[in-house]
Chains A and B, each alone.
Chain A
Amino acid sequence: MECVFGLVGNGFAVVAADTSAVHSILVHKSNEDKIMALDSHKLIAASGESGDRVQFTEYIQKNVALYQFRNGIPLTTAAAANFTRGELATALRKNPYFVNILLAGYDKETGPSLYYIDYISTLHKVDKGAFGYGSFFSLSLMDRHYHSGMSLEEAIDLVDKCILEIRSRLVMAPPNFVIKIVDKDGARHFAWRESIKDDSVVPSA
């Protein structure tokens, strides 16, 4: 079942997500990247109904790009998070998207930040956050081990702890995870944590 989580460290934010595309009792794919780059310094990790997830994150990504083309300046992470929340909130009373979002970004003035946005458009600025069944384990582990100003090594170590716990305690734990980070140098892929290889499909990242 779905596991998306992230945390803010010293000068960077890291997000991790499972990479299983599931329908009913079937696993269709085990290398589905659920973390998208919004722009050069923003990551959007999403869980939820897979059609909604792709549609909505792409819609946000294209709007953020449009803003940048029109105005010549990028949106701050806070502005992008509020925009995303607004779009979810207006859709909520019409034809709601079932997507939960962790938005990580890095801004010159404010440094790294992480925003928690759920499908009923709750918006919170957080140091650590999680969605899905995996959140029961990742949240408790992050409560126990998170501290402010974590180094990249400490943060990745914590992410691995979470993945290990999910794999050992969750019924139907997803086999593979992807980890991405964003810091002053931009948003980028960091690592895969794979326990099975999906040879039929070439990994996308």
Chain B
Amino acid sequence: MSRRYDSRTTIFSPEGRLYQVEYAMEAIGNAGTAIGILSKDGVVLVGEKKVTSKLLQTSTSTEKMYKIDDHVACAVAGIMSDANILINTARVQAQRYTFSYQEPMPVEQLVQSLCDTKQGYTQFGGLRPFGVSFLFAGWDKNFGFQLYMSDPSGNYGGWKAAAIGANNQAAQSMLKQDYKDDLTREEAVQLALKVLSKTMDSTSLTSEKLELAEVFLSPSGNVKYQVCSPDSLSKLLVKFGVTQPAAEAS
């Protein structure tokens, strides 16, 4: 019955739904999980790497986290080829703003401009929507640290803690239970790793399957985007009791 409306992104079904957009969200449900948590002194992003083949060589240290500008980073869940396009437009937008105003782009404006692009693909004919959800972590002088989540329909919202990708519902409800206001950044990292370890399919959490990135203010007052190295990530996992030390595990 709904077949007639499946092939067009631009047409509502009689029940008032846009199937292509819903299918895009379905596609994201199969991607690796990413979690973002806002703390009082920074924003934490963790992601699950889905790539498992030992033969695959990853060109960069991160495959889910991208720096958009000096003060904004994002985590991706969904079709990576689609995401690359959007990340590129986000970077262009950020630089274009700096060119106009000689100031860093406010985080929400950046998110909004990207979501406008996403929305366009749900309305203007013949195209499919982007199969990507984003978590944006950033800092600006007006609103401090911020975390935003966006979906293929072009919707976005500000969150204290959010999850996208596989099992995001379970992760979201765990975050809802365990999130407290006034978390420190370290506590946020701990919470994020804990939630990810419980919602991931694999039994043991290792640094090869994980990515951790943080946005915070350095002592000099500059915004810093820092990706956790595999070594220190392994140490963190042991420290927080999420995984066993390597010696004992083997």
Chain A contacts with B in 45-98, Cβ cutoff 8 A: 71, 73, 75-76, 78-79, 82-83, 86
Q: Does A143 contact B (CB under 8 A)?
A: no
Chain B contacts with A in 84-125, Cβ cutoff 8 A: 99-103, 106, 108-109
Q: Does B142 contact A (CB under 8 A)?
A: yes
Inter-chain CA distance A86–B103, complex, in Å, is 13
Point out the residue from A73, A78, A82, A83 that lies within 8 Å of B142, measured CB to CB.
A73
- Contact A71 B141, CB 8 Å, known A79-B103, A83-B100: no
Inter-chain CA distance A109–B108, complex, in Å, is 20
Point out the residue from B100, B102, B103, B109 that lies within 8 Å of A71, measured CB to CB.
B109
Nearest-neighbour CB distance to chain A for B119, whole angstroms, equals 16
Structural contact, A78 and B141, CB atoms closer than 8 A: no
- The contact size tier of chain B is 10 to 19
- Contact A78 B103, CB 8 Å, known A73-B142, A109-B141: yes
Tell me which residues across on chain B come within 8 A of A73, comparing CB atoms: 106, 142
- Contact A82 B100, CB 8 Å, known A73-B142, A109-B141: yes
Structural contact, A82 and B141, CB atoms closer than 8 A: no
Interface centre among B102, B103, B142 (most CB of A within 10 A): B102
Nearest-neighbour CB distance to chain A for B29, whole angstroms, equals 33
- What is the 8 Å Cβ interface bit string for chain A, positions 129-162, against chain B (1 contact, 0 not)? 0000000000000000000000000000000000
Structural contact, A71 and B106, CB atoms closer than 8 A: yes
Chain B contacts with A in 105-158, Cβ cutoff 8 A: 106, 108-109, 141-142
- What is the 8 Å Cβ interface bit string for chain B, positions 17-60, against chain A (1 contact, 0 not)? 00000000000000000000000000000000000000000000
Structural contact, A86 and B109, CB atoms closer than 8 A: no
Nearest-neighbour CB distance to chain A for B146, whole angstroms, equals 13
Inter-chain CA distance A83–B102, complex, in Å, is 8
Structural contact, A79 and B101, CB atoms closer than 8 A: yes
B-binding residues in A (CB < 8 A): 71, 73, 75-76, 78-79, 82-83, 86, 109
A-binding residues in B (CB < 8 A): 99-103, 106, 108-109, 141-142
List 18 other contacts, CB 8 Å, given A76-B103, A78-B102, A109-B141.
A71-B106, A71-B108, A71-B109, A73-B106, A73-B142, A75-B101, A78-B101, A78-B103, A79-B101, A79-B102, A79-B103, A82-B100, A82-B101, A82-B102, A82-B103, A83-B100, A83-B101, A86-B99
A–B pairs, 8, beta carbons within 8 Å: A71-B108, A73-B106, A75-B101, A79-B101, A82-B100, A82-B102, A82-B103, A83-B100
* A-B CB proximity, top 5 nearest: A79-B101, A82-B102, A79-B103, A73-B142, A82-B101
